[in-house]
Chains A and B, each alone.
Chain A
Amino acid sequence: MGNNQEKIDSYLRHEFNEDEEEGFEKSIKFDRNLNTDFELTKLISKSLSKRAFLSKQMSRWEAELEQKESTNFFSRHFKKIIIVGTGLAASIIIGFLIIAPFYNSDMTESKEKYAYRLPYFDSTDYLANDYRIYTSQIDSLINIVEYDKALSMICLIEKDFETFKPYANIEFVEAGLEGSEISGNTNYQNDAYVLRWRKINVLLALGEIDDALNVLNEFKDEDGKFKEKAQKLYKKLMESEDFE
């Protein structure tokens, strides 16, 4: 087979001269083994070629993929940059809005633009569960620096608490639940007090100093958890040159 194979290879690779080629072609007509080897070699060559061709095709497809990916690189990363950038910007803005009120100086000297650092408001200050939906919203509005809206809502809820007869309490009384009535009233009194502290601070943040002082004037003498803070604030406000 070895010798035959060399002849076959030389013929297939066109390494024979004309005479040798003619001689080989005659041989395969009569030599059955040579003919079989020759045909098998042609089929092997065909199979190898097909395999190699597929391999080249795959390389081409890979190259196309790579080219397509590099073309898409900028647009793909541009999208990422936009998404990340927008996210960062949003985070910075939200962070600023949350932190800003606490980073303002306690008070500035400008009367027109009175900057006031709002203290931290703890939502556990509120006790009336049936009003928690409003009170928690008030704190949320303060946190996102929506002082106007917070003030409006405080004024709205305040009216309910002033009478100490909110709707929920009336229902309790009508139902004969006197204990709940007492407990309800205590909670409303507490929340009315807490809301007034919020109101003072929001008014100051809005630059409504006179209105804030009016409320604070009474509030500082009331017993409650904010009494000390209220007195300090009142003193500070009164010492300020702007108010002399």
Chain B
Amino acid sequence: MNSHKFDISDEDVVNAIQKDDELICKYFYIDCRSYFLAKHTSVFTLKSRELEILDLFQESFSLLYCEINSKRIDLRDNHIVRKDRTGEYKPMTASLKTYLLSIAKIKNLELSRNIDVLSINEAIIPSLIDTNEDNNEIYDIVNYCVNFLLPDRCKHILTLFYYERKTLDEILSIRKENNSKDGLKTSKSKCMSKLKANILSELQRNNIAICYGK
């Protein structure tokens, strides 16, 4: 499959991810995968196994996907732009694949330091200043906080709970790291509280008010 040569530009990729075009996403994934595996030595500070490399790639790809999907990376006049810390869209100088590598480098540093949260880095994390109280804008912030600020263990617990619809007992049997149901319940609660606090903080920082209900 690596032998497929599709002439897909970064602009096509941005469009495809935002429109959930699976075919182009798939080929972009494969293209990035080949590139990543070829370049992984520059990403890894320590020699790692293939499975770990693939995990790192998938995690990094997922973050890149999220940035595009949340329109933090977007198209303006058919040029790729990215929100910087001031909230302004600036043209991206790097290609998406290069950007993916920089995400992986930071993610790898985070893993090697055994830090649970991806360090906030100007190169990766854009700020949000949209004041439009549009639900999509709020979702973008939620999406950003889930993907970039939520620790991996929390992502795992919350995904099992909200997406897989597992019960706490089932999650306990999957996650050997949690010793008791009460401990798991506390962990889940703390993860959720911290995530919401992060979301509210980001919303506040960007002057976005949530006005649900009457």
Q: Do the beta carbons of A29 and B212 come within 8 Å of each other? A: no
B29 touches A52 (CB 8 A): no
Q: Specify which of A32, A44, A65 is in contact with B158 (CB 8 Å cutoff).
A: A44
A40, B142: Cβ atoms closer than 8 Å:
yes
- Our pick among A2, A30, A43, A44 for the contact of B189 (Cβ within 8 Å) is A2
Count of chain A residues with a beta carbon within 8 Å of a chain B beta carbon? 38
Q: Report B188 CB to chain A, min CB distance, Å.
A: 9
Q: Quick one: which of B69, B162, B210, B214 has the most chain A CB within 10 A?
A: B162
Task: Take A1-B196, A2-B193, A48-B159 as given contacts and tell me if A32 and B212 are in contact as well, using a CB distance cutoff of 8 Å.
Answer: yes
Q: Which chain A residues lie closer than 8 Å to B33 at the CB level?
A: 65
- Min CB distance A243 to B, Å, is 67
Q: Which of B26, B69, B213 contacts A35 (CB 8 A)?
A: B213
**Residue A64 lies at the interface, judged by CB distance under 8 Å to chain B:** yes
**Given known contacts A5-B192, A29-B213, A61-B30, A48 and B158 CB-to-CB distance under 8 angstroms:** yes
Complex contacts, A32 vs chain B, CB 8 Å = 212-213
Give A residues with C-beta under 8 Å from B. Answer: 1-2, 5, 9, 12-13, 28-32, 35-41, 43-52, 54-55, 57-58, 61-62, 64-65, 68-69
Chain B residues near A (Cβ < 8 Å): 1, 22, 25-26, 29-30, 33, 54, 58, 61-62, 65-66, 69, 138-139, 142-143, 146-147, 155, 158-159, 161-165, 189, 192-193, 195-196, 199, 210, 212-214
Q: A57-B25, A57-B26, A61-B30 are in contact. List 5 more A-B contacts (CB 8 A).
A: A2-B193, A39-B210, A40-B142, A47-B147, A58-B58
